[in-house]
Structure formats: structure tokens, C-alpha cells
Structure 1
């Protein structure tokens, strides 16, 4: 795969999770910590447990982790693992330890994805999987950012 393509995908994945580089972002706010990690790290466990329209930020974060886990399994093994999507939405509240665990596991799956992108034998199905995971994660970042408007009123 073309290095320009690989580097572009990695830049967008990094922006989704870590926020934009210092020179400004492509789609997140052009300020530090506006990616998923910075957004989640500003929340307490109690805030992450507030239900907004039937879901919590904790559930969105863990669902994003779950999706990344599935993507990482596909990139590694070439097939989708058994995934119970309903289970990925069942978190209604977290304590401090649980909230920390969700964020650490999300960071782990993100790091695994970045490593995989460097090693990936790009083809159409895997490219679609990576781009789908990027879009899915960016969607949940936007959803969480909108939820914050209700949580932090």
C-alpha cells in the first residue's frame, strides 16, 4: 500500500483518538485534547454514567473499544470474531475503577490498531474494515461530545 495512504489513515486515526496535531485538525476542533481520549479523560465516573437518551458515555466508550477489538481481530486473523453487539451497550454506570479500565482498554485497542496499520497487507476488505473503524470511532466521538452538552449543563 502506498505510504501516503497509510500515513493519511494513521493521521486521521490519531486525530480521532488523540486530537489534532499542533497545526490544526482535519475534522476535530483545532485545540489540544479534543479527540476521544481528551474528551473522556475530562469526565468523572459519575458523569460518564449519566444516561442521555438511553445511553451513557461509558457505554459509548466501551462500545467503541469493542468495535476496535473486532477490527483488530479481523486485521490479525482475517475473519470477524464472534461479537455480541448488545452486550457492548449494557454499561449503565461505572465506578472510578471501571471508568479507568474502560479508558485503558480503549487505549490498548487504539495502540494495537496503530501497530497493525504499519504491518497491514492492505487489500479491499481490510481497507474497508479500517476505514469503517475510523468512521465508527469518529461518530462516537461526535455523539459523546453532544452528550456532554446535557451532562455538563
Structure 2
């Protein structure tokens, strides 16, 4: 069972971040750049810095990175790190270098998470954290899409 859960989590996380790998999808639009990385890829720092309903795309992207960092720490150590959720929303305006750093750090945490899934000693806490991480990514994927439309 654990192997099936691991493979499903990796598949669905990849869809959330990289977009669907098939001509159809489990929950995203089946189109090019449908995942978080595709949405952020060509977006300039100026647009990532625009405030929409009190937040920016840059803040959302870094918040997702921060959440994944916390999940990765839990997978690595078995305990949750102290996390300052208010701090994870503090990014407003970013320049191109800062925006590139955020996107690269997001990719790094994503790759760490994918690799960590295969190392998990599955129990209820780990399953809850991983399923919560998937839901969190899907939520922010939708939020980012709506922000870009605005």
C-alpha cells in the first residue's frame, strides 16, 4: 500500500507543479504550463510584484516554497520545525534576481520533496502531512491562476 501511495503522491504533486504528463489530467487543466512552474516561468518580476487582494504572486510562490521546506524538514527529522506563517507572506515587490531566486528555491524544495517521499516510514502523521501538502499546492495553484487572470 505504501508504494502505491508514494507513486500517487509523486504523480499528483508533479501535476500540481509541472502540469499533467498526459493529454488529460487528474485535477489541473490539460494544457501547456498548467502547473505552478509553468504559470511562474515567463512571469516577470514586475507582474509577480503586483498586489492582488492584499498579496502578490511572489508572496504566494515563496509561501508555497516555505510550506514545502517545512514538509521536507518533517520528512527528514520526524518533527515539525517552528514556522512563522506571517513571515511567509511578507514578500511584496521583487526585482528579477529576487524573483529568480524564489522560483529556483521553489524548484529545489519540490525536488527535495519528491526524493523524500521514497524515504518516508509511512504512518498517519506522514500520510496526513503529504496529503496536506498536495492539497496546499493545489489550493495555491488555483489562487495563482486567479491572480494572473486579474
Give TM-score scaled by structure 1 length.
0.95
Question: Aligned pair 1:80/2:66, yes or no?
Answer: no
Unmatched runs of 5 consecutive residues or more in structure 2:
none
Aligned-residue RMSD, C-alpha: 0.9
Q: Which residue of 1 aligns with 2:109?
A: 109
TM-aligned CA deviation for residue 128 of structure 1: 0.3
Q: Which residue of 2 aligns with 1:42?
A: 42
TM-aligned CA deviation for residue 119 of structure 1: 1.3
TM-aligned CA deviation for residue 141 of structure 1: 0.8
Higher mean alpha-carbon deviation, 109-118 vs 24-33, is at: 24-33
Aligned length: 150
Structure 2 CA distance for aligned equivalents of residues 81 and 4 of structure 1: 28
Question: Aligned pair 1:5/2:17, yes or no?
Answer: no
Question: Aligned pair 1:69/2:69, yes or no?
Answer: yes
**Residue pair 2:2, 2:122 contacting (<8 A) in 1 also:** no
SS in 2 for 1:119: coil
Structure 1 CA distance for aligned equivalents of residues 88 and 97 of structure 2: 18
Q: Which residue of 2 aligns with 1:95?
A: 95
SS in 1 for 2:23: coil
Structure 1 CA distance for aligned equivalents of residues 2 and 129 of structure 2: 17
SS in 2 for 1:22: coil
Higher mean alpha-carbon deviation, 65-74 vs 3-12, is at: 3-12
Question: Which portions of structure 1, spanning 4 or more consecutive aligned residues, are displaced by more than 6 angstroms?
Answer: none
Structure 2 CA distance for aligned equivalents of residues 23 and 9 of structure 1: 19
SS in 1 for 2:88: helix
